[in-house]
Amino acid sequence: MEDHGTVRDDHTPSASQPPFDLHVGDALTAYSRWPTPVTIISDGAYGVRGFHGDPAGPEGLVDWYRPHVERWSRAAHPATTLWFWNTEVGWANVHPLLVEHGWDYVQTITWDKGIAHVAGNVNSRSIRRFPVVSEICVLYQRRFVVETPDGPLPVQEWLRREWLRTGLPLSKANEACGVRNAATRKYLTRDWVWYWPPGRMLERLAKYANEHGEPTGWPYFSLDGKSILTAKQWDSLRYRWNHQHGLTNVWRRGPLHDEERLKGTRRRVAPRVHRTTPASSAHLNQKPLEFMERLVRAVTEPGDVVWEPFGGLASASVAAVTLGRRAYVAEIDAEFAALARERLQAAWEAVRRDATTGT
């Protein structure tokens, strides 16, 4: 049986300990120390030479991401989600790698930076396509596969198989759940209009199956072959989703130009930056905190662990700290990491200030 329940989390949050862990170095050397992530926010290479080490084209991205994706997949719990930022073509290149490693596509968020992003960047006489003003962030969930004596089964097939093993007619599932026909139609169907049963329904199915099913097949609806799944265990295997009213999968907002954007380091932060001025950005890829907060809020609860393997200025982790989550972030470049640390520290101080003033 696959181990579906192990969550590595040795960290006990306390008021005096910072709710973030910044690793200055390669994320590959930090993963084994980090607790199990509830979500991973990846904003790494785009294949556009956006930072030192970012490949020059999208073809180089699979090799760049492979060792990270392998580690994420090993560390993930069935309810772990992944947010993957990139360009459209960068993501298209990496998507098969993610699928190969057990990440299932959920949806794409498009950041529409608007027409203002075009101004000055495009020569309308030489361009032979529409100007690009977007970046995307793609949500993945872990594929939930159950190991059975007949081989691994996707969760939908496994639920149906468990019921069929009992020898009970499918219609008895409705009686088990106390509904007219929804259980058979929604939870035990073979077709695409399948619904993930909520924990309380799964528990009812399991109880009924174990009380009325063929005794020779016992236990039914068990992941370890011994104990029968409870509502709580079942619900913990599915990623959380906190609905945010009014948001769609297209987010309109210009690139960061306001006071949130860090400037003035005068450093050549990427191979494609040639001359710097005091107005140059400290990092080419700094993401709006507003967006990172939306991602964190959607799939985590306060106290949950958020991984940000490619920190830059640690925008996802700053968002996580602000929202009371625990951030684990790596940044390989010591100068970016120093700026990230200042931001994380400031976010934590703001949280503590708000807690003492009660705001």
Ligand X SMILES: C[S@@+](CC[C@H](N)C(=O)[O-])C[C@H]1O[C@@H](n2cnc3c(N)ncnc32)[C@H](O)[C@@H]1O
Residue 317 CA to residue 305 CA, distance in Å, equals: 10
Residue type, 48: V
Residue 236 CA to residue 331 CA, distance in Å, equals: 31
- Shortest separation between residue 330's beta carbon and ligand X, angstroms: 4
DSSP 196-231: PPPHHHHHHHHHHHHHHS-GGGPPPS-SSSSSPPPH
Considering only 51, 72, 83, 234, the residue that binds ligand X (CB under 6 A) is 51
Residue 316 CA to residue 231 CA, distance in Å, equals: 32
Task: Between 183 and 299, name the residue whose CB sits nearer to ligand X.
Answer: 299
Peptide bond into 13 cis (omega under 30): no
Residue 106 CA to residue 103 CA, distance in Å, equals: 9
- Shortest separation between residue 336's beta carbon and ligand X, angstroms: 5
Residue 130 CA to residue 305 CA, distance in Å, equals: 40
Structure-block tokens of residue 37: 């992530």
* Three-class secondary structure of residue 247 per DSSP: coil
- CB-neighbour burial class of residue 66 (10 A; exposed 0-12, middle 13-18, buried 19+): middle
Considering only 8, 9, 26, 207, the residue that binds ligand X (CB under 6 A) is 26
Which position's Cβ is nearest ligand X? 312
Per CB under 6 A, the segment of 159-167, 190-198, 218-226, 279-287 that binds ligand X is 279-287
Considering only 202, 205, 313, 323, the residue that binds ligand X (CB under 6 A) is 313
Residue with tokens 């960047």: 121
Task: Between 44 and 47, name the residue whose CB sits nearer to ligand X.
Answer: 44
Lay out the site mask for ligand X across 323-342 (x = CB under 6 A, - = otherwise): -------xxxx--x------
Q: How many residues bind ligand X (CB under 6 A)?
A: 21
Task: Between 66 and 185, name the residue whose CB sits nearer to ligand X.
Answer: 66
Per CB under 6 A, the segment of 140-148, 172-180, 224-232, 311-319 that binds ligand X is 311-319
Task: Between 87 and 285, name the residue whose CB sits nearer to ligand X.
Answer: 285
Q: What is the DSSP letter of 224?
A: S
Lay out the site mask for ligand X across 229-258 (x = CB under 6 A, - = otherwise): ------------------------------
Handedness of CA 121, 313, 76, 108 (dihedral sign): negative
Considering only 87, 286, 317, 322, the residue that binds ligand X (CB under 6 A) is 286
Task: Between 58 and 78, name the residue whose CB sits nearer to ligand X.
Answer: 58
Question: Considering the rule CB under 6 A, would residue 140 count as an interface residue with ligand X?
Answer: no
Considering only 312, 317, 328, 347, the residue that binds ligand X (CB under 6 A) is 312
H or E segment and range at residue 50? none
- Shortest separation between residue 72's beta carbon and ligand X, angstroms: 13
- Segment 184-203, which members bind ligand X (CB under 6 A)? none
Residue 350 CA to residue 113 CA, distance in Å, equals: 29
Residue type, 171: S
Residue with tokens 């004596």: 149
355 phi and psi, to 5 degrees?
-65, -40
Lay out the site mask for ligand X across 147-186 (x = CB under 6 A, - = otherwise): ----------------------------------------
List interacting residues with ligand X (CB under 6 A).
26-28, 43-44, 50-51, 53, 283, 285-287, 310, 312-313, 315, 330-333, 336
